[in-house]
Structure 1
């Protein structure tokens, strides 16, 4: 997949996240940094659901990827960068936003918030990533 195809895929995935959040959580994401607080609310809800009845691996994969795409698109619009496919480990490839020499795997952070640690704040993570990107 070339860079343009990857960009289009991630933009479409970010739109899927907006639709999912609107339909399932009745929240309209605005595509800005402030909306990341709403993303944290959605992920906290998914974390609570995960504790009661674990999500299927397929659902987790999809949710983490679309939410990660949304967060990444907000980051790219506000800070810069571009989507990169990391295939170093062929058994676990992933998408991340590359900015300079830094890589931000937003979908992985979503996964950890949903499955392991609800105290993770994606809003804080993006703010820290923004600061790191500017150094």
Structure 2
């Protein structure tokens, strides 16, 4: 898949996240840094639901990817970078934002917050990712 195709796919996924969050969680995401607070709230809610009644693996995968795409689009808008498909492990390829020599798998962060640890902060992760690039 070409870089521009990956970018379009992720932009579309980010828009899907905006629609999902508006419909299911009543937050209006606007692609601002401030909206990442709402993303943290949504992911924490999904974590609580996951603890009470497991979602299907497909749903968790989809939500992690579309919300991760939303976070990635905000990161790219504010700090730069581009979407990159990492196929180093052919059994587990993934898409991440690449900037300089670093890559940031935002979907993975979402997945871990939903499944394992709702104390993970997307806001803090994005700030730390930006700081790591600026060093």
Normalising by the smaller structure, the TM-score range is over 0.9
The RMSD of aligned alpha carbons is: 0.5
Query: What is the CA distance between 1:130 and its match in structure 2?
Result: 0.9
Query: What is the CA distance between 1:91 and its match in structure 2?
Result: 1.3
1:2 paired residue number: 2
Alignment of 1:21-100 (within 5 A): 21-100=21-100
Query: What is the CA distance between 1:95 and its match in structure 2?
Result: 0.6
**Distance across 2 between alignment mates of 1:90 and 1:49:** 32
Structure 1, unmatched stretches of 5+, are none
TM-score, length of structure 2 as denominator length: 0.99
Alignment of 1:124-135 (within 5 A): 124-135=124-135
**Distance across 2 between alignment mates of 1:30 and 1:124:** 19
**Distance across 1 between alignment mates of 2:87 and 2:115:** 23
Query: What is the CA distance between 1:23 and its match in structure 2?
Result: 0.3
Q: How many residues align?
A: 135
TM-score, length of structure 1 as denominator length: 0.99
Instruction: Give per-residue Cα distances to partners, 1:16-66, cap 9 Å, x unaligned.
Output: 000000000010001011100000000000000000011101001100000
Structure 2, unmatched stretches of 5+, are none
**Distance across 1 between alignment mates of 2:86 and 2:50:** 27
1:103 paired residue number: 103
Q: Which moved more, 1:71-80 or 1:89-98?
A: 89-98
